[in-house]
Amino acid sequence: MGSYRVCVCFQRRFKVAEAVPPSDVKELFQKYSDGGSHSHMTPENLRRFLAEVQGDDVSLIDHQNLVEQVLNKRHHITKFARHNLLLEDFHYFLFSTEFNPPIGSKVNQDMTAPLSHYFIYTGHNSYLTGNQLSSDCSDVPIIKALNRGVRVVELDIWPNSTKDDVLVLHGRTLTTPVELIKCLKSIKEHAFAASPYPVIITLEDHLTPDLQAKVAQMLTKTFGDMLFCPNHETLKEFPSPEELKGRILISTKPPKEYAETVRENSLKSEKSKDSDDDEWGKEVSTKNQNENHVGNSDANQHSEDDAIDDLASELCSSAAPSYKHLIALHAGKPKGTTLKDALKVENDKVRRLSLSEQALEKATESLGTELIRFTQKNFLRVYPKGTRFNSSNYKPMIGWMHGAQMVAFNMQGYGRNLWLMHGMFRSNGGCGYVKKPDFLMNVGPNNEVFNPKDELPVRKTLKVKVYLGDGWRMDFKQTHFDMYSPPDFYARVGIAGAPADQIMKKTKIIEDNWIPSWEEEFTFPLRVPELALLRVEVHEYDMSETDDFAGQTCLPVAELKQGIRAVPLYDRKGEKYNSVRLLMRFEFI
């Protein structure tokens, strides 16, 4: 007979306990409380703690009311006889994401600079529910994005089969379309649910002139006075987010430049599935209204040139009066054959240039300062390469380091890069606009600008202490991580930012505990603290398989509140857990 083993897994038992205040919390409570063995913290004691340890503006806080709120919330009693905090109440307060969050929730930056001075929360193919090839097109992901604070929505617009209406879909794929008017109505309804600042609709236009005119009617009828239409054909400088509150801006190519692109594209033989409006550095596809094969013979060429010239003329005369008037932010490039030509700054106009992620990466090798100079006035949009069929995303920091305002992401996607995007736009109250750091906007006495390739000194050091975590036992099934025992949690903490600042560190593994207590401290020297994002992940160690995901967050370092803070964690898609959170301490030295 073969030997057998007795499984000892069942000997391990689930245990549920309350989170115990860490030693730092106990010491601070003793320091800031009255009394000996029966210590308690009065509202005045709490005020002193918040001012001296947390660095809060105590003039804005009603401390008596705050103490009462904490007691009511913790003990579920509306009228509480006691008007001070015991140690457990104090710990409850510190570990509450409602009372003691790691960053503020209100707009705190200057919103009166020109629009080009801000990073803008930007979506790519905002209408797709899933992958880039076969998912449904819908207004639902647009609504979700707007409710998250996204401010730039992209719509690819194409004629329907009978050429009498306009659909939104990803061209030359199996994505099922949605009517443009439905998307526009949903944008109007949800545009300012999360933020009062302007929404930009980028139109990837594949329309005939009569349908462009129809789109102009739709936009005018749907948005009315919400539409921002400049008095002049082009703007020398854009108004500020403050001036554009509650407004909708349209960004696309004006008909004349669009017609010239049709001509250029029609004379090229290469086609791609994903044609963006004025992309640089990838193959270009013919637009929908000119999809018939361009013949190679000399005999055919002359008649085709005539037809294209006729189309260009028709586009300019037919669509221009109604459609062109609605374009607030003109997409396109100046005359020239190189990317360096495309990055020339024109004194009399502001425009938008689009680069694929690969084209941007290539440009940063030799044109870094040209990119910075261009983005000080003009808009640079970066979008995912066409091979990201599964709606994944690229690293956003390279775009931000070079001043790109519109780092366009598949918001319905997933993964760590999307978590970074969420983290960046938690800044400034989550309003969708983040003021670019001064170093990206400054011009020196000799007209010099920031060079991302320069070696920079350490300018600030962030100390992070990870005390403990809790909430998994409320948000997860008891058997989610391990069938027969409590989970074995560890945390990963690090920085995303400038290349020299990027690092990840890891705590020890705490075995068999739903409330892991790590009490570990990490130090992060930062060269570009303005763009640094604090990355936090929790995983459950699994000896035989891939470690289980247990939560993540990404926080802008520039907005971190000092002191001991409750840090809420999010799931893979960026949705906040109900209860999962970490107790952490932040200190700048």
Marked catalytic residue, from 91, 117, 170, 402:
170
Task: Please tell me the distance from the alpha carbon of residue 376 to that of residue 238, in angstroms, as a whole number.
Answer: 12
Q: Work out the number of other CB atoms within 10 angstroms of the CB of residue 574.
A: 17
How many Cα atoms are found within 13 Å in the side-chain-facing hemisphere of 394? 24
**In terms of Cα–Cα distance, which of 283, 277, 280 is closest to 252?**
277
Cβ 249 vs Cβ 228: under 8 Å = yes
The token duo for 204 is: 């990837």
Q: How many CB atoms lie within 10 A of CB 455?
A: 6
Residue 195: φ, ψ to 5°: -155, 140
Q: What is the dihedral of CA 328, 334, 337, 339, to 10 degrees?
A: -60
What is the pairing mode between strands 563-570 and 576-588? antiparallel
340 vs 351: CA distance, rounded Å: 15
What is residue 33's three-state secondary structure?
A: coil
Instruction: Provide the 8-state DSSP code for 515.
Output: S
Q: 293 with 271: CB under 8 angstroms?
A: no
Distance CA 132, CA 395 (A): 19
| Residue found by looking up tokens 């236009």 in the block | 205
- Find the catalytic residue in 91, 117, 124, 206: 124
**CA neighbours closer than 13 Å in the CB half-sphere of residue 196:** 8
124 has catalytic annotation? yes
- Give the C-alpha separation, 314 to 207, whole Å: 12
Q: Which of 368, 362, 355, 431 lies closest to 403 in space, CA to CA?
A: 368
Distance CA 411, CA 392 (A): 9
**Residue 136, phi then psi, degrees to nearest 5:** -75, 145
248-252/199-205 β-pairing? parallel
Alpha helix (H) ranges present in 349-494? Answer: 357-366, 368-375, 397-401, 416-424, 438-441, 472-475
Alpha carbons 382 and 424: distance in angstroms, whole number: 16
Q: Please, what is the angle between helix 357-366 and helix 368-375, to 10°?
A: 110
CA-CA distance, 372 to 236, in Å (whole number)?
A: 18
* DSSP at 119: E
The rounded distance, in Å, linking the Cα atoms of 583 and 564 is 7
Torsion of CA 220, 225, 228, 231, to 10 degrees: 90
Please identify every residue annotated as catalytic: 124, 170
